[in-house]
Amino acid sequence: MSSRRGRVSGELHDSVLGALGTAVVSGRLTPGRVLTIEDLCRQYDVSRSVAREAVRVLESMGLLASRRRVGVTVRPREDWNVFDPRVIRWRLDGGDRIEQLLSLSELRHGFEPVAAALAAHRATPEQCRRMAMAVSDMAVHGRTGDLEPYLLADQAFHRTLLRASGNEMLAALGDVVCEVLDGRTHHGLMPDRPNPAAIALHQEVARAVRDREPAAAEQAMREIIDEASAAMAELKR
């Protein structure tokens, strides 16, 4: 019974966290708006402990600030932890989806080509094998138009590449890249069949990393991001 209660409590927490986080990043709750725990309990029909825990997590993301005798205040965008994968996900669920994806693509330009060049120096044989397998899976699922398994293979490729850079700061950005890829797929911003040229570029990155060619790995990764950015910019028109 206690296990079931814990599971229900966790589900309620996740539900409130997602709903409240989305309300903040979408602008439905404007910066400076003051809420109370009682407000949240009534609105989401949850206990004080569930509401407090959701607020605590959102405070850690910079979305809310809680003060005694003041209440829970919605914080402005400049205070948000915009690298938090959940913040990215909620923003992609909102109205500025394309703008957010283009902003994230600009960010990727700043670190993924560098990571590819470093990986060409530092990748282990196992990491090279994983990247090659991921590209092979992308090719298979790209031909059939199975976007969900394609997404998983694409995410595996980029996570492995970032880890192969041998830089823990770059590796930690894997969740950011995966949210970008997830957002494109689940918001209908991918073609029905992935671009074969993009898959070929992933293959070129994997080859260049394996053959210890940092300049080629960096250039191919830059072209991957350019291709994705151009596709999204086209959708914005």
* In the chain, domain spans: 2-79, 85-236
pTM of the model: 0.86
Q: How is residue 229 written in tokens?
A: 């950015």
Burial classification of residue 76, based on how many CB atoms lie within 10 Å of its CB (0-12 exposed, 13-18 middle, 19 or more buried): exposed
Q: pLDDT at residue 2 above 50?
A: no
What is the residue-averaged pLDDT of the chain?
91
Query: Can you read off the two tokens belonging to residue 66?
Result: 């809680």
Is the domain 2-79 a CATH 1.10.10.10 member?
yes
Q: Mean pLDDT across the stretch 172-181? A: 94
| pLDDT tens-place string over residues 110-145 | 999 999 999 999 999 999 999 999 999 999 999 999
* Percentage of the residues of the chain whose pLDDT score is greater than 70: 94
Query: 221 or 189: whose pLDDT is higher?
Result: 221
Q: Which two tokens stand for residue 207?
A: 């080859």
Neighbours of 151 (CB within 10 A): 20
Contact 82, 63 (CB under 8 A): no
Out of 3.40.50.300, 1.20.120.530, 3.40.640.10, 2.60.120.260, which CATH number does the structure's domain 85-236 have?
A: 1.20.120.530
Alpha-carbon span 33 to 38, nearest angstrom: 15
> For the segment 26-70, what is each residue's pLDDT rounded down to a tens digit?
999 999 999 999 999 999 999 999 999 999 999 999 999 999 888
Helices 147-164, 97-122: axis angle to 10 degrees equals 50
Whether the domain at 2-79 and the domain at 85-236 fall into the same CATH topology? no
pLDDT of residue 8: 41
